[in-house]
Amino acid sequence: MTTLTSAIYQGDVVHQRKRPRVHRLRYTVASMLLDLDELPGLAERSRLFGYNRFAPLAFYDRDHGPTDGTPLRPWVESRLRQAGIEPDGGAIRLLCYPRIFGYAFNPLSVFFCYRRSGDLSAILYEVCNTYKERHTYVIPVDDAARPVIRQSCDKELYVSPFIAMDTTYHFRIVPPSEDVRIAIRQEDAEGLLLAASFAGSRRPFSEAGLRHILMRFPLLTLKVIAGIHWEALKLWLKGLPVFRHSPTANPVQFSIQTTDKTGP
């Protein structure tokens, strides 16, 4: 049987707000790392997983990228070309939450784009808010040999009602292997405002692994959405100022960072 690069990562999401009130949350979640080229075969291996069809656990192309249901590889490769990277057919792997019993919400999905040599060429950060808007930040990887990839970009999408738009994201990424680490420092003119992270350990993409997700996280989507609103209520009760949402002209947007903009 062919060895899969797709996998399951279970770990903790941690957010810590620094100002103007301290606020911290921690949730245990399970994400999938899905090699886009393996998706049809993954659906054939297990009745628990579906690709563009209903199953207890499923992945739909229309939940990501242009959201029109077309295959994701051409869309990702087009973004890479716009960033000055010519794709050579290397793997594209997406770290995201699956649909569970038909439902999913991904505040952040991460595309890891590789060259045929195995070197990481770019990372795409797809951020979604609760207003059905999304923005994908496309950032080349200038030095794939670094054990920790350091990247930065300016915030372009309204996400939290308690954080202004004029902020910068600083990403610290340990690409998926036996573990995966995604850390985000969000800073404004006064310094660190919010620190967020996901640290997960790898499990094989297998029948046992899929059953584990269903047994351990049957309400993962509800947990994510309810958690967002519950934490927002607590922040509101703490008296944090609210920044109102202005709808974007296009609910699906992206921006290109032509080179690593590394921060502190």
Pinpoint the alpha helices (H) of the chain. Answer: 39-45, 72-82, 207-216, 220-237
Task: Quote the percentage of the chain above a pLDDT of 70.
Answer: 97
Residue 25's DSSP bridge partners are 15
pLDDT of residue 77: 98
Q: What is the pTM of this model?
A: 0.95
Query: 57 near 100, Cβ under 8 Å?
Result: yes
User: pLDDT tens digits, residue range 73-98?
Assistant: 999 999 999 999 999 999 999 999 99
220 contacts 214 by C-beta, under 8 angstroms: no
